[in-house]
Amino acid sequence: MKFSTTWLKDHLETDATLSEITECLNAIGLEVEGVEDPAQRLAGFTVAEVLTAEKHPDADKLQVLIVDTGEGDPLQVVCGAPNARAGMMGVLGQPGAVVPSNGMELRKSAIRGVESNGMMCSVRELELGEDHDGIIELPDDAPVGHSFADYHGSSPIIDVAITPNRPDCMGVYGIARDLAAAGLGRLKPIAFPKFDAADDCPVEIRTDDEEGCPAFYGRVIKGVKNGPSPDWLQQRLQSAGQRPISLLVDLTNYLMLAFGRPAHAYDLSKLSGAVVARRAKSGEQVLALNEKTYTLDDSMVVIADDKEVHDIAGIMGGNNSGVSDDTTDLLLEIAYFDPPRIGVTGRKLGLASDARTRFERGVDPAFLDDGLDLLAGLIVELAGGTASEKVHAGAAPIDAKVVKFDPVLTTKLGGVEVPADEQRRILESLDFAVTDDWQVTCPLRRHDIEGPADLVEEVVRIHGLDKVESVVLPRAEGVARPTATSEQVLERKLRRAAAASGLNEAITWSFLPEAEAAHFTAADDLWKLSNPISEDMKVMRPSLIPGLLMAAKRAATRGSSSSRIFEIGRRYFRGSDGLSDERATVGVILSGEKTARGWADGKAAMFDAFDAKAAALELLAAAGAPSEKLMVMEPVVNGEGTQFHPGQSATLRLGPKKVLARFGMIHPATLKAFDVDGPIAAVEIFLDAIPQKKAGKGPVSFARPSFAPPALQSVTRDFAFLVPLELAAADLVRAVKGADKANIIDTRVFDVFAGQGVPEGKKSVAVEVTLQPQEKSFKDADLKAISDRIVAAAAKQGAELRGAGISDAVRASMENIDGYGSF
């Protein structure tokens, strides 16, 4: 939030310097993000008088001015402004000055052959407004030769970051209150302009939705004259980054920025019948002030008359009933809206505004009457007219929260000692009522106060956060014990393993749109947020795959030919106890080209289900899972898995029921739902299902592991089996490897074939088996016995031996070894 020091001093009587103000703001928890001094931008611009104005000899629309700067001889300036004339006071930018609007440095130059020593400036060129039809005209008594920055009264602008829990400081008056409580000055009482209310309000005002709009106040002012705002008002709005529009609009913005109280003004001639706060009807539309049309639903609060909707309550007014330069009669509206309802409406419509920012955080319900009187008084004072009596529809919440407080908590929780009397003074200066036994009644505007700890925060920050000493926590002697949990260690190991395998880490939102989330689990299991950031972040993710799919889509739309991404995070489900059930998970997406097209085959290779399986096994091995014992089974588990292609996906299980991971190609229907081009392979590893290793016993060994090769040469044998088409190759490999655990050290599939020469309903699977002799070389009888055990183990899986033998490479190297003979 931005404001000028001049504006601040409208409400705070202080002699503090800019440096003292900013230091105090930081000390009380209102972080200063920046300070801007407009006077620096106006350096080199002075008040000047036009002595003569003559037509340019070579240009019809230019004049040659002789300008008195109050210093030395008058200067000659060429000017094209139609209002330039002899005797007027204006603003001269002399050579060396930089024009704020475009950054141009002024220099002495010749324009159409006539020397010009600077430029007479317009309002827009000095960024003081939008008017650029002519140069600035100052009053006749403006001091010639004085700095325009000093004459204009430009004061430093402070930019403060307001945390979401402090809506009471989203107005300059609230910030002044905090500074006064901190001892930087005295808070001035609000000056209410006096005016007489003439007649009863001629418009019926009511609220038909007391839940969404508990209080709806208003009054009519007739006979006003709209037009430009006075300079003091424009300067204050400009310091806050607001563009002055017209007197009536500017005054409503002033009330919001000065006191944190949004309000709205309607052109009375554009209203029909009663003005009502009510629920919208589903499908109703409103053309808002931003000239966009919004379609509403019945969860939203609107302000409407007998004819149409005129206001998205608490967020933005309608274009059809806004005040204009021709407005003479108006209706002022000021209300209290339910904060959560405003937030939900704004997110559904994707509509942000200064009013919404304040209403959804909670405005002061006690400032309704005063706010309406202050705004009406300013309008009558500056725009004329006659105000009616106020109309009160409904009532704002007035139940103040009472908190039992103990001053000792300030030292215990805040780490700073503050005398009890000083704590009482601080709380009372912030409008908390404190009894003798420390029963503290909170002002209605302080929605953030929930308990004693919040009062400690108030005391400590006003006392000064800079006075809280940094204290080193006690530390035990010796070497510090590891602080990472076993889960954190596992995730770090997996993160390194994934990166080493060529995957890039992605960090996606833990929230998803409801439709995308429902695609990955049953609707009843979704963990929905009651107050989400936006409608696209309404549900906690039940899987990491949706977020990674959307990340891959964004990469593809930006020209990426391949995405190899992973994420380690949590999935969220609705637990049986009503709380969130969080499960640690690894997600992987492989999309696009695995290898780019080349001269060998002329086309790119795409990722397939086997790439996903390899990634799953590699990461499971890094996580310590017994990958050699895993079973490859069907992908659907308790209704999950339909997001994967049924013929190109599977699960990895430790036993029939314990699922450690699922992998495969994403189903075309899922790709279509996410508007993603395929094919895409994916992996999801469930870390909570991986069995944890038991803690080791005995002393830790620091001996270097031995990597010496075995003394005896290994033997490789190939087996070809006829197996049923539905048999997973991994099941066959597991059976073969388990046939002789002492001698078989590795097993892998090197060929799969189905077609001519293979019986119908069968496929040929060729397996390479590596045998490692232990103490002596194998004899023929040893090899035959191992082969028989392998064939028997395969037969239990429905496999039939097609052929077996030693590979050619091994045969050539072993022909003369004793015990092998010829093959």
Residue 425 has what pLDDT? Answer: 96
Q: Is the pLDDT of residue 156 over 60?
A: yes
In this structure, what are the phi and psi dihedrals at residue 27, rounded to the nearest 5 degrees? Answer: -70, -30
Contacts 24+ apart (CB under 8 A), 579-584: 580/527, 580/540, 581/527, 583/686, 583/687, 583/688, 584/487, 584/491, 584/686, 584/687, 584/688
pLDDT tens sequence across 499-530: 999 999 999 999 998 888 888 876 677 888 87
Residue 280, pLDDT > 90, answer yes
**CATH class of the structural domain 486-689:** alpha beta
Nearest Cα neighbor of 3 from 129, 119, 161 is: 161
In this prediction, residue 804 carries a pLDDT of 61
700-744 pLDDT per residue, tens: 444 555 556 778 888 999 999 999 988 888 889 989 998 998 899
Task: State the pLDDT at residue 474.
Answer: 82
Instruction: Give CA separation, 564 vs 290, 538, 560, 587, 590, in Å.
Output: 42, 27, 11, 11, 5
- Does 159 or 535 have the greater pLDDT score? 159
Tell me the C-alpha distance between 199 and 365, whole Å.
26
- Report angle CA 65, 68, 73 to the nearest 5 degrees: 100
Q: In the CATH scheme, what is the code of domain 2-37+156-187?
A: 3.30.56.10
Picking from 435-439, 646-650, 754-758, 812-816, which range would have the lowest pLDDT averaged per residue?
812-816
CATH number for the domain formed by residue range(s) 402-463? 3.30.56.10
Choosing among 3.40.50.2300, 2.40.50.140, 1.10.10.10, 2.60.120.260, the CATH entry for 40-152 is 2.40.50.140
Of the candidate ranges 154-158, 274-278, 281-285, 388-392, the one whose mean pLDDT is the lowest: 154-158
One fold for 40-152 and 486-689: no
Question: Which pLDDT score is estimated for 809?
Answer: 42
pLDDT for position 699: 47
Q: Which CATH number fits domain 205-394: 3.50.40.10, 3.40.50.12780, 3.30.450.20, 3.30.200.20?
A: 3.50.40.10
Cis check: omega of the bond before 679, within 30 degrees of 0 = yes
For the stretch 538-581, pLDDT in tens is 889 999 999 999 999 999 998 888 999 999 999 888 766 666 67
Percent of the chain residues topping a pLDDT of 90 = 63
Indicate if the pLDDT at residue 93 is higher than 70: yes
* SS3 assignment, position 749: strand
* Tokens 């004061």 belong to residue: 155
pLDDT in tens, 377-414: 999 999 999 999 999 999 999 899 999 999 999 999 99
Low-confidence winner among 40-49, 375-384, 470-479 (lowest mean pLDDT): 470-479
Spell out the domain ranges in the chain. 2-37+156-187, 40-152, 205-394, 402-463, 486-689, 715-814
**Secondary structure letter of residue 391 according to DSSP:** E
- Phi/psi at 333 (nearest 5 deg)? -125, 135
DSSP category for residue 248: H
**Residue predicted with more confidence, 247 or 526:** 247
DSSP 584-622: EEEEEEEEEEEE---TTTSSPEEP-HHHHHHHHHHHHHH
pLDDT band at 638 (very low <50, low <70, confident <90, very high): very low
* Average pLDDT of the residues in 315-330: 93
Q: In this structure, what DSSP letter does residue 713 have?
A: P
Which amino acid, residue 115?
E
Task: With 0.85 as the threshold, say if the pTM is over it.
Answer: no
Find out whether 448 is annotated in a ligand binding site: yes
Look at residue 152 in the predicted model and tell me its pLDDT: 80
* SS3 state at 256: helix
CA atoms within 13 A on the CB side of 536: 6
CATH class of 715-814: alpha beta
Whether residue 457 is annotated as binding a ligand: the answer is yes
Confidence band (pLDDT; 50, 70, 90) for 822?
very low
> Is 291 among the annotated ligand-binding positions?
no
Q: How do strand 644-653 and strand 631-633 relate by DSSP bridges?
A: antiparallel
Residue 197 predicted with pLDDT over 90 = no
